Amino acid sequence: MFRYLLLTSFFLLSATAYAQGSHSQNENNQVSISEKNSHSKATAADILSSLKTAVQIKAVNIEPILAGSAELGFLYKTGNTNSADMKTGIDLRFEKDRWLSLLNIDLLIKKADIADADTGELNFETTDKKWSIASQTNYSLDIREKHYIYGNVWYEESEFSSFITQSSVSTGWGRHWYKTNNASLWGDIGPGFKRDQFRATGKEPTKTITSWIIQAQALYIRKLSEHVEFKQSFSAKQAIKTGENSIYKAKTSITTKLISTLQLKFTFTVNYNTDIEDKKKKLDTQTAVTFVYSF
């Protein structure tokens, strides 16, 4: 009897344990299935998120191949005499692969009251003007864009100096010497050819002098803040022969951003010629405040 009860109890306990094990296994299977479903859903979401992130990463802002700016400034005086100065200019930059081309055009016009020789009547006319064009093309010799060869062309007509026209061409080697997130320094040097057309004087007629030169240039740009940029450039056109005219020029500018496409620019320019007529000064300076529109 006791054995029968013991066997019966053992059988019941075994059945109960088996039933609980089966129930626990079913629960585990359900949990595993739910976890798999959860992981499957999470993986799909992650895939979509990663695809979206990849798209966002690929959507990098690419600088335009062609960029430029135009500037304009006025100075107008009234009273006993009327006069007006206007300065305008255009800067263009073209960049593709290893090629970089820069073009700068400047124009300065001065107007004032001029008395008519016969009637003495005052007429508001252009008295002096000056315009110049400078272009340079660089070709990088390496992927890091450290070393480059360049070609430079410059032409100027002026009624403010001893020269009717001045022009030069040059080619040579350059290097991007220094570069950080806030500053850059370029410098290049090479041989060239210069042509100066002198204005006629009481003693001498108009004459043209050509000479071989060594041209050296440097450009330093620094971002002072998010909206302010400092730029300093220097160029020297050194005549090889002693006694011939050499040209040295330095230009300092500070540009402040007013809105996204409009800036206020302060510029100070120094121009020095070593050989000019006696009544003219060798050093010319120009100070200008202009509005600059970028496009």
pLDDT above 90 for 145: no
**Distances from the Cα of 61 to the Cα of 56, 57, 58, 64, 183, angstroms:** 11, 10, 9, 9, 21
Check whether residue 240 and residue 151 sit in a common domain.
yes
Three-class SS state of 127 = strand
Total domains, the chain? 2
Check whether residue 253 and residue 176 sit in a common domain.
yes
CATH code for the domain in which residue 257 is found: 2.40.160
> Of 17, 39, 60, which residue is a domain's last?
60
Confidence at 273, pLDDT banded by 50, 70, 90: very high
Check whether residue 72 and residue 201 sit in a common domain.
yes
pLDDT in tens, 109-130: 998 878 777 777 777 778 889 9
Q: What is the pLDDT of residue 80?
A: 64
Check whether residue 73 and residue 91 sit in a common domain.
yes
Check whether residue 238 and residue 133 sit in a common domain.
yes
pLDDT in tens, 202-243: 778 899 999 999 999 999 999 999 999 999 999 999 999 988
pLDDT above 90 for 90: yes
pLDDT above 90 for 93: yes
Check whether residue 86 and residue 44 sit in a common domain.
no
What is the rounded average pLDDT for all residues in the chain? 81
Structural domain boundaries, residue 249: 66-294
Check whether residue 71 and residue 177 sit in a common domain.
yes
Report the C-alpha gap between 222 and 181 in whole angstroms. 9
pLDDT above 80 for 5: no
> Of 9, 35, 60, which residue is a domain's last?
60
The whole-number average pLDDT for the span 188-193 is 98
Check whether residue 2 and residue 134 sit in a common domain.
no
Check whether residue 24 and residue 118 sit in a common domain.
no
Check whether residue 175 and residue 259 sit in a common domain.
yes
Confidence at 81, pLDDT banded by 50, 70, 90: low
The whole-number average pLDDT for the span 20-42 is 45
Check whether residue 96 and residue 214 sit in a common domain.
yes
Q: What is the pLDDT of residue 59?
A: 45
> Of 13, 39, 60, which residue is a domain's last?
60
Closest CA to 72 of 264, 268, 286, 284: 264
